[in-house]
């Protein structure tokens, strides 16, 4: 369950930042880069801040 929520949040962040980058300010694309780098590092280190946040909010695996 938690992994599905993390993927949904990451996808939402990417879509919103692309929208904001296109229509508001191109610097929002850096947020897209941040999300991508975060996903990449979590695949190598198995550490994800959103996983910790969701655990503290009581979301179960």
The model's pTM: 0.86
Sketch the domain layout of the chain as residue ranges: 2-56
Tokens of 25: 């300010």
* pLDDT, position 61: 85
* Cα 34 from Cα 2, distance rounded (Å): 21
pLDDT digits (tens, 9 = 90+) for 10-45: 999 999 999 999 999 999 999 999 999 999 999 999
Residue 27 half-sphere exposure toward CB, CA atoms < 13 A: 0
- pLDDT of 55 > 90? The answer is yes
């Amino acid at each position: 369950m938690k992994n599905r929520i993390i993927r949904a949040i990451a996808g939402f962040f990417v879509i919103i930042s692309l929208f904001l980058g296109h229509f508001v300010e191109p610097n929002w694309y850096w947020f897209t880069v941040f999300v991508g780098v975060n996903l990449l590092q979590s695949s190598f280190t198995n550490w994800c801040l959103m996983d910790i946040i969701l655990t503290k909010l009581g979301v179960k695996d």
